[in-house]
Structure 1
Amino acid sequence: MTPKIELRGVSKRFGRKVVLDKLNLSIAPGESLVVIGGSGTGKSVMLKCILGLLQPDEGQIFVDGEDVTRLRGRARAAHRARFGMLFQGGALFDSMPVWRNITFALTQGRRGNAKLHALAVELLQKVGLDPAVADLRPSELSGGMQKRVALARAIAAKPEIIFFDEPTTGLDPIRADVINDLIVSLVRDLGVTALTITHDMASARKIAHRVAMLYNGKIIWDGPRDIIHSSGNPYVDQFVNGRAEGPIKTGVLNR
């Protein structure tokens, strides 16, 4: 089976700082992959390279077998349209109501406001929110509700692939689990391919089919979520158990 996403030898540097170092990774169609790793290890840079927001210094990135690192102009814009994104902070516009936030990417089409509003209401119900929320401003919502609105926006354009950037950050354990359940159900029901970056191991264990750990710009472990606590890898073991002592040093995480 052709991977939905495949990175081959991808490197990215900023000056002398090597962020991605000949990174290899593949994700199957319909798979939910969670990438874990400390702050500053390149997880967000990896996402930006896949999206085409950053150009790798070396290597290739394939989506459905097509090398997307070569895309330019309209082809690159069409490539980005295949992705949905749930940003860490929600990234909602407080200057517009919720329904306009959800349908923001669709406003260039021919659908009028009534159809867009109806679509937003449908998506709000899909993520477990009351239709009345559509006419509120994001500032009137709790953090958990804002995350669900952002999730509704991420699926509005019916993407093939969804990226989740720290989806449970800033939420209490109960609200975080609501978001985890929504991610699981959306991946299952929509048949999308999902790539999540997170520090939340409870979230990783729930939403992932597979977990990979990024360290020093490389994937140092990759396997099913059910065996992550018996990985046999000391770096993975230290990270998933949240221990200060071990092979991962604070200076390395912040490099």
Structure 2
Amino acid sequence: MAGEKILLEDVRKSFAGRAVLDGVNLAIEPGESLAIIGQSGSGKSVTLKCILGLIRPDAGRILVDGEDVTAMRPAQLEKLRTKFGMLFQGSALFDSLPVWRNVTFGITQGRMREPARMRMIAEENLERVGLDGRILNLRPSELSGGMQKRVALARAIAPRPEIIFFDEPTTGLDPIRADVINDLIVSLVDDLGVTALTITHDMASARKIAHRVAMLYQGRIIWRGPRDRLYDSGNPYVDQFVLGRAEGPIK
């Protein structure tokens, strides 16, 4: 099949003899926002790391714009990663750097380059996430958790990536701040026309951010469908997971 932005074909990965990914098949279209849900330890993060080229699968193929990530040399991977933006689970900001240098870190690779221009870029991207220039010189530790998440989001979009990965974007936030971040992600994905892949166990986040949702269970995608079918999937594993029931096929 041609035209997918990201395509996983029969991806397998084991650690110490335990299969974490056991034949993952998944396609993400250009401009699509897809969320992968599943229990802790189901392989969501390993899937993400395989796409990023941080982990090499034992078998299968991962294509990004038709290029096989699993066959790339380090220099090719570095070039590919310029297409990616990333919002890390814990924001992962550098406390030793002011906000403006955090936001432009992906552009400068942490070096002090063109500070006046970088401050302008930082301010422009902070405005996109609802923050203003008054925080440019603050340290991340001086910001609330919700503001830190916004700064991390500004950093993810600053290099104008084609693909953004969101790793548990609402972790550690109260429901109201989480909803603000979800709304921001939706508007940014739409405005910038990027392809988005989110891994989450927050059902409210999955339903709001994603066009489609896929569930990973025991190393395989066991269900995929539009977000409005998440609570009407007809799949007992998905039903148990999204409703948080103790009783069901998931032990």
Query: 50-59 vs 102-111, which deviates more?
Result: 102-111
Q: Deviations over 1:62-83 (max 9, x none)?
A: 0111112111121110011110
> Pick from 124, 129, 132: which aligns with 2:131?
129
1:182 matched residue in structure 2: 184
1:60 matched residue in structure 2: 61
Question: SS at the partner of 2:117?
Answer: helix
> Partners of 2:132 and 2:188 in 1: how far apart?
18
Counterpart residue identity of residue 71, structure 1: M
1:233 matched residue in structure 2: 235
> Partners of 1:111 and 1:135 in 2: how far apart?
16
Between the aligned residues of both structures, percent identity stands at 71
Superposed displacement of residue 107, structure 1: 1.5
Question: SS at the partner of 1:125?
Answer: helix
Question: SS at the partner of 2:136?
Answer: helix
TM-score by length of 2: 0.97
Q: Where do 4+ consecutive residues of structure 1 move more than 2 Å?
A: 108-111
> Partners of 2:86 and 2:37 in 1: how far apart?
18
Question: SS at the partner of 1:154?
Answer: helix
Superposed displacement of residue 111, structure 1: 5.1
> Partners of 1:245 and 1:29 in 2: how far apart?
38
Superposed displacement of residue 55, structure 1: 0.2
2:43 matched residue in structure 1: 42
1:243 matched residue in structure 2: 245
> Pick from 145, 148, 162: which aligns with 1:143?
145
> Partners of 2:191 and 2:75 in 1: how far apart?
30
> Partners of 1:226 and 1:102 in 2: how far apart?
34
Unaligned runs of 5+ in 2: none
Q: Deviations over 1:158-191 (max 9, x none)?
A: 1000000000001001100110001000110000
> Partners of 1:42 and 1:68 in 2: how far apart?
18
Give the RMSD, CA atoms, in angstroms.
1.1
Superposed displacement of residue 130, structure 1: 1.8
Query: 100-109 vs 31-40, which deviates more?
Result: 100-109
Q: Deviations over 1:64-106 (max 9, x none)?
A: 1111211112111001111000000000000010000111121
Counterpart residue identity of residue 119, structure 1: I
1:76 matched residue in structure 2: 77
Superposed displacement of residue 122, structure 1: 0.6
> Pick from 188, 193, 196: which aligns with 2:195?
193
Counterpart residue identity of residue 93, structure 1: F
